[in-house]
Chains A and B, each alone.
Chain A
Amino acid sequence: MAHVIPAKSYFNVLMVLFVLTVLTVLVARPVSGIDLGIFSDAIAFLIATVKATFVAAIFMGLKYQKKLHTVCLVSGVFFLLLLFLVSKIDIASRVLEQSTL
């Protein structure tokens, strides 16, 4: 059946997730007072993605399972990015009609 991941790995991942959560809070503007503009969005999202990767790879065991399971997850994310991109292009390229009233 499936690969049995050592209990120690789970504990180590939990510790990494704790550290990254503290980091997310520390770099955030309401706590640190540092305003990096749109970069604070990007940094928060980047840290969240690192955390998500740990959860998916070890807790969910993707690292040790069939590649097909990773394909399922990544295809969902891919089509989401496509939705975001096309929506952005749509909104950015709209011509607003000026009111003549």
Chain B
Amino acid sequence: MGAEATQATWKKVVWYVVLTTLTLVVLFPVYMTLVRALSTPAAYVREGQPLYPVDVQWDVFRRAWDQGDLGRKVGISAIVTAVIVTLQLTTSLLAAYAFTFLQFPGRRILFVVFMATLMLPIEVTLIPNVQTIRDLDWLNSFAGLTAPFLATAFGTFLIRQGFMGIPRDLKDASQLDGFGHMAFLRRVAIPVTRPVIASFAVISFLAAWNQYTWPRAVVTEGRWETIQIGLRSLSTSTVDQNNISFAAAIIAALPVLALLIFLQRQLIRGLTAGAVKG
């Protein structure tokens, strides 16, 4: 083996050491949460809070599921997320279609007005929006949990970008074939831009499942808590059995983790949309 080859091998080894070290650092918080979830709290503290689980209770996840009523909370989160993703997709597709393929007066202005909503995060409009929900008698309801998120300028923008990539010829050809607008949307535009739409759906899922501030504001009864809000309730209510709350956090993260692993490409494309050209 030549000197150069030896050097290359050493370089590889060094990079593996660096990457492994970074992996341990990034995963350490998760590992410790797993340790604490599995340990019996009192025994763990008595042992001096070590790096390994003490008096392991493997049934902690089932107990968290029962005691924390996580089935219900996960169910509410799932319904809220499904409604938000489905409606955001629908409203964004329709709006993006109008902005891309239809000629109408005030199109440019209206597009700017739509995009302006990106500067109004829910934290800013929280107080009056909660009032609206209260006036509509929508506190503690699916309507209240989802209403402000049923449309999004981000989706309109992203899908419009995708639509603009459709060659004019395709549009003209489909017109010659006698396709109306809705047929063109369904049979050509949506299939052609599927990657963009999928990326947006994944981002939409991520945001809807993980949101905290809005559900925290419009839920006042425990039985309407989403899983994220449930995590807070558990972390405050069970001091001597905080293993339950740590187990719940792991359960809450699982759906998104699965998404990350199976739909990594769509997720990354969605997250980097706008960040990197090309």
Partners in one complex: no
Chain A: residues with CB nearer than 8 A to chain B?
Answer: none
